[in-house]
Structure 1
Amino acid sequence: MRKVEVPGRTTRAVPVALVAVAVLSALTIPADARRGRHARHAAHHRHVSGGGYNPPFAAMVVDAKTGKTLHAVNEDALRHPASITKVMTLYMLFEQMERGKFALDSDLSISAHAAAQAPSKLGLRPGQTISVEDAIKAIVTKSANDVACAIGENIAGSEERFAQMMTAKARALGMSRTHYANASGLPDPDQLTTARDLTILARAIQDRFPHYYRYFQTRSFAFRGRVIGNHNRLLGNVEGVDGIKTGYTRDSGFNLMTAAKSDGHQIVAIVLGGKSGGSRDAIMAQLVRANLPKAYAGARIAPPVTEVAERARPAVVADGISRTRTQVASAEDDDVETTNSTGEPLDISPARTTTPGNGLRAASPALPKSAQAYAEQPSQPAFPSLGKIAARISSNERDEPPKALSGPKVTPTAWVIQLGAMDDEDKARSMLSQARAKVGGSLSKAAPYTVKVEHGGATLYRARFSGFSEQESAQDACTALKRSGYSCFATRS
């Protein structure tokens, strides 16, 4: 039994397992039925805690052998990854090691910039060094921000350049809505991802680097007279869990990326925006126990997650503009501060998990200028602050009539599917052709076409499929595209 302090309420014992069940049950209630509850609860919560700490929730579970989605909540909504960022940082390091640029006993130098990073960190001083192997273990266990920054600087020369490389790698892997601004996950409004994108990364790092992935199972390691334990408390406590990474900032809430396997079943799972470390862990444990037995136990069907140089990606890439980091420290589970960015007390009750669109004041990251091409991705109606940005590029944009890839002009049907927007029409056409050839089935009779858009002095070409009279058929086709690694959304023409 765990006692939970809630401002303005009597302290009482709440079983964590029951909390997880209650949270998951709430997430499965139809949206229409939840709206009334959320509206009533929002007023009460604002009265109790003044708005307080309410990071938006998202979760996803994917069968690693088939790529099938087993559970999803707000999986395509933009979120801050916090220290889950470091999984990509290690992916980049493992790649350099595979190429022979670094070995486990290579030394990484610590700059003044790296040493100045906010906690959680090892506390290394400028001019000191750390071996690559110790750096990996420090990331996995302590989630050391100084070490993550040092990895980026030693690979790319600067953390800014490394963040650009991370973003490009995300695109190559098919993480179409992820943008990195630093190597650690420390607060930055431009550091964005989705639960879906993180499931791709969780699968990719295991597929690409199985011999290095074992480091995510590290329970503790000794470093210069200290024994440092792993923040991931599911290791050794939930059957099948073999990694991989926790994360927390005030704006992100408590995050967790998990991989689990048992008796031939294998899944990856993401929880973002947990209300506390305990409630996040309870939710994840329940997700693993509920979904791992349902995963396919036969031979792998889905191909390994690989990098594709010309995967459907946004036309605008990182602009490399220097950014000022929010002056809010990142803390892992054993370093949690007890105030939010406004100095108000936190409501860390695990009994509720906030979902966007419920009237509560939640962290609402604005779409960064360096990622404006994301505006061509689907809006998130449940997250109004992002939805308004992502729904349309601008009221001043000018569309030209659609062009078919070949043959007569296409007249869009009631519903169409958009894959993305490219800066070159040939790229948009190629994306459509490849998608149609790869998916077939629901796209076999669809008509591919492009729409030229003028916006802010730039020309973009929207890649779309027509041929859907009903919303359901368009969404089914979009689901098939997502299973094949494409980002898309169904929309009225």
Structure 2
Amino acid sequence: MKHPLNIKTGSLAGALLLLTSLPALARYAAIVIDADSGRVVHEVEATHRWYPASLTKVMTIYMTFAAIEAGRLHLHDTLTVSAHAARQPSSKLGLRQGQTISVEHAIMAVTTRSANDAAVVLAERLGGSESQFAGMMTQQAQRMGMYNSSFQNASGLPDEGQISSARDLALLSSALIRDFPQYYRYFSATEFAYKGRVLPNTNKILKTYPDADGLKTGFTCGSGYNLIASAKRNGRRLIGVLLGAHSSAERFQQMANLLDLGFEKSQVGAFGMPVTQLRDANFAPPPFQLSSNRCAGSAEQMGADSGSGRSEPIRIKPGKSTRLADNRRVKTKSAKGGAANGNWTVMLGDHRRKIDADVNLKQARYALGTAAKTGQPHVVRIKTKGKLLWRTEWMNLSSSQARDFCRKLRAKGRQCTLLPG
């Protein structure tokens, strides 16, 4: 099989620079997995390294639950707030040095309000210091197969070493629900009553998506607006992770589309490989989502320039969806019986190695330019004529978009096959 790269010796360095730069152009990363089987239902750049922001706190709480189950901590234990915890920036509960808070209230503050001060209070109790606890978090991540993840703090505040991926966060969320079902309710609470105040959960997916029952929001300038959500419909639980939205509203809207797409696929058994097998050896730095002119302070601290990030909206699934009473989606056909808008797929080629398929996808995105904003690119593992191959596809295109894709790709000398829905 011909290698997808066609590079002359003299331009090797430039081509390699291009390829190492391309991951930073990703507009978002996403994954949906079936919680029971652990299989991938849908993914886009799910192994790209990303700044997790406050999604970090899912690991902080996972380790808190583990300590409770082991008897090293109890829900009604009292924790004392250190000066370091009290100094944490927002979002926070407003804890003061020397103040006390129960373990359960600290958990609730983290799961509903994403309170950085409460997260540090838990970390210091479990690890002795936040930095020691961060080391424990990284070790736990490695044991769980979160190979793209490392942690420097318990909250997700900006740090170049605070890294994860959509795949890793889906693994973590699945483990939390599986290992601690008795405590998952803390991620489902829509409000937190504390000292005479009733504080609403910042995770609006709990109110905007009927089947959602948890998990966590996150935001920094580097990460963009992140979200993990879990939803259960007709006995099937899905976990969705979305990284890199450009507004809070966008992450909730597109997570709903992501979960809808996941339930559609799972209804017909369109499962991919186990999420544990979704691996990537690409260690390029995470993309910086929001430019310094939009997020001046922390963006400059992280080395962003005025041109970093992208502002194009995420479109998990083009067009408006219609939710039926039985929670299924309508598939429409055109008057001539052809596939309706959004049902066409462009196949870019099959490869023996996933890394070759990934490179093909990145090169196709580069060749397409602004046209790459539409549809969903992905790499799937297939079996054909007894051989396991990696197929590169671009899904959810209208017929005109698909034809335009192929015209552009063929003009660049790239393979392209149209597949009507």
TM-score by length of structure 1 reads 0.53
Give the match for residue 127 of structure 1: 98
Among residues 163, 183, 196, which one is paired with 1:212 in the alignment? 183
Q: Deviations over 1:393-438 (max 9, x none)?
A: xxxxxxxxxxxxxxxxxxxxxxxxxxxxxxxxxxxxxxxxxxxxxx
Distance 1:116 1:289 in 2: 41
SS of the residue 1:178 aligns to: coil
Q: AA paired with 2:175?
A: A
Distance 1:354 1:61, change over 3 A: closer
Is 1:143 the counterpart of 2:107? The answer is: no
Is 1:266 the counterpart of 2:237? The answer is: yes
Give the match for residue 407 of structure 1: none
Q: AA paired with 2:245?
A: G
How far did residue 177 of structure 1 move? 1.1
Give the match for residue 80 of structure 2: 109
Does the CA contact (< 8 Å) of 1:265 and 1:293 recur in 2? no
Taking the TM superposition and a 5 Å limit, the aligned residue runs for 1:351-430 are 352-353=313-314
Give the match for residue 156 of structure 2: 185
Among residues 328, 338, 341, which one is paired with 2:299 in the alignment? 341
Distance 1:118 1:293, change over 3 A: same
Distance 1:245 1:346, change over 3 A: farther
Give the match for residue 87 of structure 1: 58
Give the match for residue 131 of structure 2: 160
How far did residue 68 of structure 1 move? 2.1
Q: AA paired with 2:256?
A: A
Structure 1: state its 5+ residue gaps: 1-53, 306-311, 315-327, 329-335, 356-376, 385-441, 446-471, 477-493
Percent identical: 40
Is 1:283 the counterpart of 2:254? The answer is: yes
Over 6 Å off, 4+ runs = 302-305, 336-340, 343-350, 377-380
Give the match for residue 456 of structure 1: none
Q: AA paired with 1:352?
A: P
Does the CA contact (< 8 Å) of 2:91 and 2:113 recur in 1? yes
SS of the residue 1:244 aligns to: strand
How far did residue 354 of structure 1 move? 9.8
Distance 1:55 1:219 in 2: 32
Is 1:61 the counterpart of 2:32? The answer is: yes
SS of the residue 2:208 aligns to: coil
Distance 1:160 1:75, change over 3 A: same
Give the match for residue 41 of structure 2: 70
Distance 1:98 1:165 in 2: 17
Distance 1:62 1:111 in 2: 39
How far did residue 296 of structure 1 move? 6.0
**Higher mean Cα deviation, 342-351 or 117-126?**
342-351
Q: Deviations over 1:338-367 (max 9, x none)?
A: 877259999999862399xxxxxxxxxxxx
Distance 1:349 1:171 in 2: 31
Distance 1:254 1:127 in 2: 33
Distance 1:304 1:378, change over 3 A: closer
Q: AA paired with 2:207?
A: G
How far did residue 67 of structure 1 move? 2.0
SS of the residue 1:268 aligns to: strand
How far did residue 295 of structure 1 move? 2.5
Distance 1:101 1:92 in 2: 11
Distance 2:45 2:64 in 1: 30
Give the match for residue 327 of structure 2: none
Does the CA contact (< 8 Å) of 1:275 and 1:352 recur in 2? yes
Distance 1:229 1:345 in 2: 34
Does the CA contact (< 8 Å) of 1:267 and 1:295 recur in 2? no
Distance 1:211 1:170, change over 3 A: same
Q: Deviations over 1:42-78 (max 9, x none)?
A: xxxxxxxxxxxx9841000111122221111111110
Distance 2:245 2:306 in 1: 16
Does the CA contact (< 8 Å) of 2:40 and 2:275 recur in 1? no
Structure 2: state its 5+ residue gaps: 1-24, 282-289, 317-353, 364-382, 392-421
How far did residue 294 of structure 1 move? 3.4
How far did residue 292 of structure 1 move? 2.0
Give the match for residue 15 of structure 2: none
Distance 1:303 1:104, change over 3 A: farther
Distance 2:27 2:151 in 1: 19
Distance 1:129 1:55 in 2: 43
Does the CA contact (< 8 Å) of 1:265 and 1:297 recur in 2? no
Does the CA contact (< 8 Å) of 1:180 and 1:191 recur in 2? yes
TM-score by length of structure 2 reads 0.61
SS of the residue 1:235 aligns to: helix
Distance 1:207 1:253, change over 3 A: same
Aligned residues: CA RMSD: 3.8
How far did residue 186 of structure 1 move? 0.3
Give the match for residue 266 of structure 2: 295
Distance 1:188 1:261 in 2: 34
How far did residue 304 of structure 1 move? 12
Q: Deviations over 1:240-260 (max 9, x none)?
A: 101000000000000000111
Distance 1:61 1:55 in 2: 18
Distance 1:179 1:344 in 2: 24
SS of the residue 1:261 aligns to: strand
SS of the residue 2:249 aligns to: helix
Distance 1:87 1:191 in 2: 14
SS of the residue 2:183 aligns to: helix
SS of the residue 1:105 aligns to: coil
Q: Deviations over 1:363-391 (max 9, x none)?
A: xxxxxxxxxxxxxx97976899xxxxxxx
